[in-house]
Structure 1
Amino acid sequence: MPARPGPPASDAEAERPWEYSAFPVTVARAEAVSPAWMRITVTGEALQHFAPWGLDQRIKLVLPLPGGGIADFGLLEEPTPHPSHWYTRWKQLPEGDRNVLRTYTPAAIRPQARELDIDVLLHDPPGPASRWARSARPGDDLVITGPDARAGWTGYGLHWKPERPVQRALLIGDETAFPAIRGILASLPRGARADVLLELSDLRDDLVSPSAPAGARIRRALRDGAGPGRRLEELVREWTAEHGDGPAQDPGLSVWIAGETGAVARIRAHLTQDAGIPKAQVAFLGYWRIGGALVG
């Protein structure tokens, strides 16, 4: 687990009404790191307060309006208001007059350098985030929301929260989950074992294997025309067949699953119902839905 920040430095900071803040940032660099991934590095003085928890941290990108900038829906008030305020105002705006919101996991967080990396998976046909990432240039402005270290440790936006020290991890996901899987792998204690099951369309887009810790056992399945999640389900069933009753009897096992919503639900059901892994040891999250927008 990452180091947990101490209490806020002052009473004024302790009065922040919510666990996260809005961070105005500027694009510093935009780099294609594989055929389907763009790495966007953003910078801004406010990032000195971004909580560097890593793991599967969720943040929101508030993409610029077509003409640039952000609509006035209260997000940039200081301190950042509760979402019941700014999100309600955002919803009341005409769709063409409000900024697109998308959820991502940071690829790297460097508060001291006032920098944050976001790996954006490019889709075809492109959605709003893909279009933005392809055209992003140094100097472009946007806003992100994420955990604020001044609020102390809250765990806001984290789904990987094992109830006991991790001795063994099973991490499962498609491309949308790769940044989060990298963050979780980097957090595992020395000596922990990790099995990683990945589904992707192009082996060149594997952002997990190059930085995986020694001893992590990674299996990859090419989608190769199959429906989203189908190859991943096959990998999971192969894994459970190989390990027999062991996972169900291992209290040190922590499982994390993310990807297409339907596939995630089927994989969780197999692991908990068929393989007998206790539900408390399985974290799961649907990042996107077939025919719907990317939500994570």
Structure 2
Amino acid sequence: MKVGFIGTGSMGSLLIEAFMTSGALLPAEVTVSNRTFSKAQTFAERYPGIKAEFYNADTAQASDIVFICVKPHEFIHVVKDIRPVMTPDKIVVSITSPVLVSHLEGELNCKIAKIIPSITNLVWSGSALCIYGDTMEDRDKKRLEALFDHISEPLRIEESYTRIVSDLSSCGPAFMAFLLEQFVNAAVEETGIPRESAQQVASNMLLGTALLLTEGRMTPAEVQERVAVPGGITAKALKLLERKSSGMFQDLIATTHAKYREDLIKVSTSFYGEEVNGQ
């Protein structure tokens, strides 16, 4: 299997590194191109056997599966680059939520998928959100999911839920890290505990909580119930959190969805030349 990556930014780099370190792919199976060629060369030097290409079309032509890992507004340019070399047996995978499967199906003569990764995939954890076009056969889906199974739990979703599931899976680590940072900052400011100690304890706590919710099969409500003794310290603090955070996550979701709609309009305009509705 030959796999190409167009774009070596934050998420493109993450996928290449995760697939390399997990053994999902061998360097000789990978071709990389980037707008700045030296960045593609960096991966070829780091993982001998990876081939760095100057042109996106060369990466696409050499690959059975092509991951497009660029910003939404750059997609149309990459699509134009690779269109002449795409064939019905190849698979193009977008990792960008505002780029719809229909955008790519209308432009490329190949199979189309959209897979949204997470930073947690770098440590072979978390989910990979899988959305498939009409021409993707069952064997194609299994092929992609077998690849992502090395670094994540592949989860098939409807494209209409892309944004909200991305909030939980892909944006969620940043949101949870922000809240943890605020917790640690408050601990340091209020008590003088060394930041490194507070950070270590809080990080271990978050890891343990995640294991309770996954391997321990506890719900968030059950974790709270087990920790909070009625009338105790945790119970009183939880009431404070409930009061202070009321409406906060609704506003957060409204913000991410508004930005998604803005990006979707821009992407659709770049593909079709006019605003269109989409999921």
Q: Greater RCO between the two (CA within 8 Å, min separation 6)? A: 1
Specify if TM > 0.5: no
**Which structure carries more helix by proportion?**
2
TM score, norm. by length of structure 2: 0.33
**Which structure carries more strand by proportion?**
1
